[in-house]
Amino acid sequence: MAFLGYFLRRLSLVIPTLLGVTIITFTLTYVLPGNPAVVKAGPLVSPEVVKELEKAMGLDQPAWVQYGRYISGVLHGDLGQSASTGRPVLEDFKQRLPATLELTLASLLIALVLGIPLGVQSAVHRDTAIDHLGRIVGVAGVAMPTFWTGLLSLYVFFYLLGVAPPPSR
């Protein structure tokens, strides 16, 4: 019963949290410079045309109206259209989610298969070579930024050894 109460309390916090996230992301996007109408119109058109496009895209509306439209879309499963692919964002999201999950699960598996045994061995054999190895791997893993580890791994496993697939899906 206590658990159910805890669960419901946590669940009730999800809605304000998600609302907070949408407000923060919307505000950040709104206040940062960069006008989608300018990008969409192209460089050779007049400011009047850009204004016309801003109106068509609803960018001339007050922020709270734009936010309302955004939230209404989100609640109806419409995340808008991607400026870079021209497709509904939800479609892009669905397409890319499996790759993200695949990569996340695979790296988690590697971490578990290598990390747990190494951790256990390090604890059992303190101050031995395996403990030092575990410490080095652990510290390096945390200290090195993932983009650097990624590039380094590609260089070694793809370019030098030729055992990993090319860096594209």
Partner 1 sequence: MGIKADRRTFLKLSSGAGAAALGGLPTGQARAEGSQTLTLAWDTDIDSLDPHVFKSVGGYAVQCNIYDPVVSWKVRPVEGVVGLSRSFPNEFEGSIAQSWTFERDGATVVLKLRPGMTFPSGRPVNAAALKYSLDRALQSPGYMRFVMPRMLQISKPDDIEVRDDSTVAINMKGPTPQPMVLNLLSLMTITALDPELVKPNATEKDPWAADWAKRNPAGSGPYTLAANTPGVEVVLEARKDHWRRVPAFQKVVFKFVPNEADRVLLLKRKAVDLVVGRPGLSPRSIKAFEGDKAFKIVSVPDTTCHWLAMNQTKAPLDNVKVRQAINYAIPVAAIVPNVLMGYGAAMTSPVPALTPGHDGKLSPYKFNLDKARELMKEAGVTTPVTLDLAVRIGWQPHEEAAVWIQRELEKIGFKINITRQTDATFRQLASKGDLQLSIESWQSWVNDPFFHLVPLFHSTSKGTNTAFYANPKLDKLLDENYHEPNADKRLAAAQEAQKIVIEDAVWGMLWYDNWTRVMRADLVGIEKRWDTFERFTAMKLA
Residue 103 contacts partner 1 per CB under 8 A = yes
Residue 145 contacts partner 1 per CB under 8 A = no
Report 64-83 residues binding partner 1 (CB under 8 A). 82-83
Taking the least distance from each CB to partner 1, the nearer of 13 and 105 is 105
**Please, what is the minimum distance in Å from the beta carbon of residue 162 to partner 1?**
4
In angstroms, the Cα distances linking 166 to 29, 42, 131, 149 are: 34, 35, 34, 16
Taking the least distance from each CB to partner 1, the nearer of 5 and 33 is 33
Of positions 55, 94, 96, 135, contacts partner 1 by CB under 8 A? 96
Residue 62 contacts partner 1 per CB under 8 A = no
User: How many C-beta neighbours within 10 Å does residue 50 have?
Assistant: 18
**Please, what is the minimum distance in Å from the beta carbon of residue 79 to partner 1?**
14
Report 19-48 residues binding partner 1 (CB under 8 A). 32-36, 38-47
Interface ranges with partner 1 (CB under 8 A): 32-36, 38-47, 49-50, 82-87, 92, 95-96, 102-103, 105-106, 109-110, 113-114, 151, 154-155, 157-159, 161-169
